[in-house]
Each structure stands twice: as C-alpha cells, then as structure tokens.
Structure 1
Amino acid sequence: MNWINKVTPPGLKTIMQKKDTPDDLWVKCPVSGELIYKNDLEATWNVTPAGAHLRISPRIRFRLLFDDERWEPIALPAVVMDPLKFKDDKPYPARLKAAKAKVANRDLKETEEGGAPLLQEDCMVAAYGKVGGVPAVVLVQDFDFMGGSLGMAAGEAFITAAQLALARKSAFVVCTASGGARMQEGTLSLMQMPRTTLAINDLAEAKLPYVVVLTDPTSGGVSASYAMLGDVHIAEPGAMIAFSGPRVIEQTIRESLPKGFQRSEFLREKGQVDIVCDRRKLKATLSRVLSHLLPLSRRREDRSSVNLTAPKTHAEKPPQPRGVAD
C-alpha cells in the first residue's frame, strides 16, 4: 500500500478520486494552436478566434443557412451496395457500416435533447427550406463519411435534390467537402461526374440558380465536376480547393508552389472563386445572391404540403455570431 494512503483522511480520498471527463471538451485551433472550449465554438459556428473555419456537420450547416432553423428533410434513394465486390484490408460493406455508425453517433450527440435524426445513409444530406426568404434545396456533403467521397449514392443524391429544385422552381445550393471519387466503386464513381453535370444543365435551362459553397477540402472529381459549375461560387476562408494535392504537383513540376496555393483566397485572385465569405456572414451573403438570381415572380413554393421542422434542441433562438460586424 502506498504510504500516502495511510495519512490521507477518508473524506479527502473521495475528493481526490480521478473523475472521468469527456475527451472532446477542448478543440485546438489549427492556426494559432490555442485550446478553445467547445461550447464557445457553437456560438461562432465553429470559427476560432484566429479565423480558422473548422468542419461542421450537415445538421449544423442546415441550422446556419435555413430561416428559423426550419427545414424539410429530403429522402434520398438507395443504391446497390458494393457493386464491384471491392476488398482491400477490409470489405467495402464493412467500411460503409463503420462510416454510418460514425455519423449516426455524431448526430445522436447533436440531438440528445430532442429533434429528429438525419437518417444519413451516405456522404450527402439534403433538405428544403428558405434561405433569406428564398425557397431553396440545400445539399450538404459530409467529409466525415469516408472523406465525402463521390460514389453512386452521392450522385443519386445530387440528381434527386436537383430534380426537387426543378419541381419546386427553387434555388439549388450545394455545400461541397470531398477528397474525390470513391475508389471502391471504380468507374461507377467517375460516371457520377457527367451525370451531375447533366442535372446542372437542366437547372440552367429552367433558369434556376445553382450556387456552390466550397468548404475545406474540395478536391478530386468533385472539384472537376459540379463543385466548379455553379452560377456563383462562394468559398469559406482558407478552404483547400484543388484537383490534386500540392505535394503531388510539386513532385511533378519539381518547383515550389506560391504561398496560399489552392486556397480560397488564391483562387479568388485567379478568378475561379467569386466570393470568399466568413461562415458567420454566409447566410446573409447567400441570401443576397439568391435574391438576385431568383426573381420574386419565380419564388413560389410547391402546391403540395411542405413540412418544415426545427430541432427541439435549438427551437428557441439560434446562436448569435460573434466577432463579425453586421
């Protein structure tokens, strides 16, 4: 027995007992290295005091963009699982199962006080609501689900959401976050690039706005297709937007890349991005863009019933952004 146990009073032993504490109370800022209390980040939409835009879940993205945090979930079609019977160190279905469990656990934490789960089946989540009074279908790509990789499920989700925007004559907003095409689906994943492009063409023919919000990271086949085909491209600060990574490019051309290469600000200077917008101002910026692109005469909702729901957890008042002037 340790000698300190002999001289420590029983009451003090109880006080000194080690208590279990959550391991996610603090978040380290990737820019400044500062430790930030996680609850403080909720009020700034996961933007650190140094300006780093941390990744957020689809639910938080919906809360950020939709008026009164109310939206109608959009059911997305199921696709054939593991069409190529792909297997590396573990079967593809096992990877999908693990990814679903990961996002389900995250969603459970976000709805622990009530509210409907997202029922996310792949990397895409879609909803319908109003952004600054403008009806819009919003499709969010979730990097936490296998790096937001583009596969058949993501392609079907994109087309389904685009078709709903056509049916309701609303705007279509896509928030991208992806490492590229999903290798477990081979050529089938690459075929989603032209399929999504055709859906965008349908929106253009109907004169409906298609706006892309580029978040960190947006790369690979996603950046080579629907991510760069918007009427307007809005990027979050510091987001990496590229086809291949800087290391691959440097090794290929054997030259050092300029500072800030493949980041939002660099692409805005080169004309590939229209607006670089702080997340805390994103809804106001997107509202202005949509109000110009979708004339008032065309802002009519579908005749069918629309059930816009708000999570009970945040039903009273959305968190107010801090640190950004109106």
Structure 2
Amino acid sequence: MSWLDKVRNSIPFIPKRETPDNLWHKCPSCGTMLFTREYEENQSVCPKCQHHGRIGPDDRFDALFDGGLYTLLPDPEVAEDPLKFRDSKRYADRLKAARAKTGEADALVNARGTIEGYQAIVGVQNYGFLSGTMGLAVGEAFIVGVQAAIAQHCPYIIFTSGGGARMQEGIMSLMQMPKTTIGVQQLREAGLPYIVVMTDPTTGGITASYAMLGDVQLAEPGALIGFAGQRVIESTIREKLPEGFQRAEYLLEHGMLDMVVHRHKLRAELARLVSYLCPGKAAA
C-alpha cells in the first residue's frame, strides 16, 4: 500500500449532507431558481418575471380573506364512481390518491369569510385534484356555494381552474354544465353578483359553462383560457393561430374579459367590485 492510500484511508468518512428536494423551485417561465419558501410567501408568483404559479384552496383563502380567517362549507355527498370506471387504474383508486395528495374531498372547495369587511362566499377549484376536472362533486359543490351566497345575501366568487369534464364520469360530468348554469341564474334572480376569476388553466366544459357567465370576468396574468386546445383548433380550421391567443391578455384585448389582475392586487380589486355591486353589505 502506498503512502497516499494510507493517508487517504486514515481520513474519517464524512457523510454527504442531504439537500431537501423541495428547497428550490425553478420558475417554468424564466427558469430562475427560487427558494421555495420565499416563492410561496410571494403567493407563488415569480419575483423576476411575475409568472403566476398554481395555488390550492388553502393558500387562496389565506391570501383573500381578512386575517386569513374563514369557514369551510361542508362538502356535498354525491355518488362516487357511478360508472365503475376503469382505464389503466380504477377511478376509485384515482380518487383515493387525489384525496391523499390534496387533503380535499374533491376539486372544488367553498369557504365563507369577509374581504375587506365585505361578506362573500368564495369557491376555489384545485388543479392538483385530478387536474381540477368537473364531475358530480364539483357541480354539487358549485350549487352549495350558490345556495350559501343566497342564504347570506352576498356575492359568490369563484376561482376556476381545470381541464374540463371528468371523463371517468361520462355524461354525468357533462350534465354539470347546465346544472351550474341554472345555479348562476338563481344568483341573478336573487339580485346577487357572480364574479369569476379565471386562473391557469381554465379549459373545456368549465369554460363552456360557469367560467364564462360571470357578471364580472377577471383573470390572472398569463392564464390559459379556452375550450379546445390550440393544436385541435388549428387542425380543424387549417390555419395558424396567433401566438398566445388563448392567454388572458389576448382575451382581454378582444373583449372576452373585463380585467386581468395581478395576484397581489386581487383582494383589493375584489373588495372594490363587491362594494360597487353590494353597497351597504359590509360586515358589522
């Protein structure tokens, strides 16, 4: 054994420090590496390029309601896996995995609270739950939010995000489109505002129903909003579509939206809208 091997072997082994996998977040837009904690504290908005990341109901409610105080509405009870659907996995197993991952019963969660003193019912679709798809539970949760707003005589505000109808529920998923449309009509008959905030992505049957029926239509910057995908449309009409034609800014320019609002300004903007649409309804 050489003297170098002897010296090397005599050095005590120092274990390599483990770095947590979630310590850093890479911005999908500009590629900047961000500390995950700082990124989350900034409401999942990249401080360099202002890309808006996807956030779940808890983070949304904490940022929106006064003091982060709110009360969750009960989850509706609906038939689970009505078609006993199975593809590469059983639908029941997919539901179980999504609930374990998100801690939510399904993709739409409602909460009651105040926004700068104004009472509101707020619904948030969680893209992390089976891509935010619309099934029986989402349709029923929407109606629960509508009925709570009517009972409390306050606005219903919904943050949409999802990939459209949930294929594992077939025609019953598509039936949620007219169901939620009737819910919107009930709000209008009660003289209450219905405000939609479209987040990335809002597509398919969600766009074709309650996402486009708001009294005021808002969106977050850069949100993908559309019915069919760009490649599907291009192959159908055999024409090249303009760059970013399904992004929030393009839709605002062409009259499909009323406002595109930065996430940091949403709370103040929603409070302003509610004060216009429901004057005198501030909490005591």
Q: Same fold, TM exceeding 0.5?
A: yes
Structure 1 residues 10, 195: CA separation in 2 closer, same or farther (over 3 Å shift)?
Answer: same
Give the Å deviation of 1:300. Answer: 6.1
Residue 65 of structure 2 aligns with which residue? 66
Fraction of identical pairs, as percent: 49
Say which of 239, 242, 250 aligns to 1:255.
239
Query: Which amino acid in structure 1 is aligned with residue 257 of structure 2?
Result: V
Equivalent residue number for residue 201 of structure 1: 185
The runs of 5 or more residues in structure 1 that have no matched partner are 105-119, 302-326
RMSD: 1.7
Rate the CA distance shift 1:186–1:40 in 2: closer, same or farther, 3 A.
same
Matching residue of 1:312? none
Tell me which of 246, 258, 262 is aligned to 2:230.
246
2:24 to 26, 41, 54: 26
Q: Output the CA distance in 1 between the equivalents of 2:147 and 2:5.
A: 71
Aligned to 2:276: 292
Runs of 4+ deviating beyond 2 Å: 3-6, 8-11, 298-301
- What is the CA–CA distance in structure 2 between the aligned matches of 1:133 and 1:188, rounded to whole Å? 38
CA contact (8 A) 1:82 1:92 kept: yes
1:168, 1:300 within 8 Å by CA — same for their partners in 2?
Answer: no
Match of 1:96, SS? helix
Kindly provide the amino acid, as one letter, of the partner of residue 32 in structure 1. Answer: C
Partner of residue 307, structure 1? none
The one-letter code sitting in structure 1 at the alignment partner of 2:68 is E
Query: How big is each residue's C-alpha offset from its partner over 1:49-95, in whole Å with a ceiling of 9 and x where there is no partner?
Result: 21100001110000111011100111021211111111111111011
Q: Is the 8 A contact 1:170 1:299 kept in 2?
A: no
Contact persistence 1:169–1:299 (CA under 8 A):
no
Structure 2: gaps of 5 or more residues: none
2:232 maps to 1:274: no
* Match for residue 33 of structure 2 among 32, 35, 39: 35
Structure 1 position 4, deviation (Å)? 6.6
CA, structure 1 residues 220+5, in 2 after alignment: closer, same or farther (shift >3 Å)?
farther
Match of residue 80 from structure 1: 79
The separation in 2 between residues aligned to 1:4 and 1:264, in whole angstroms, is 64
Number of matched residues? Answer: 281
Distance in 1, matches of 2:6 and 2:198, equals: 58
Once the 2 structures are TM-superposed, how far is the Cα of residue 132 of structure 1 from its aligned partner? 1.6
SS of the residue corresponding to residue 250 of structure 2 reads: helix
Instruction: Identify the structure with bigger relative contact order (alpha carbons < 8 Å, sequence gap 6+).
Output: 1
Deviations 1:163-185 (A, max 9, x none): 00000001100000000000010
1:129-151 CA deviation, whole Å, 9 max, x = no partner?
A: 00121100000000000000000
Q: Which AA in structure 1 matches 2:190?
A: A
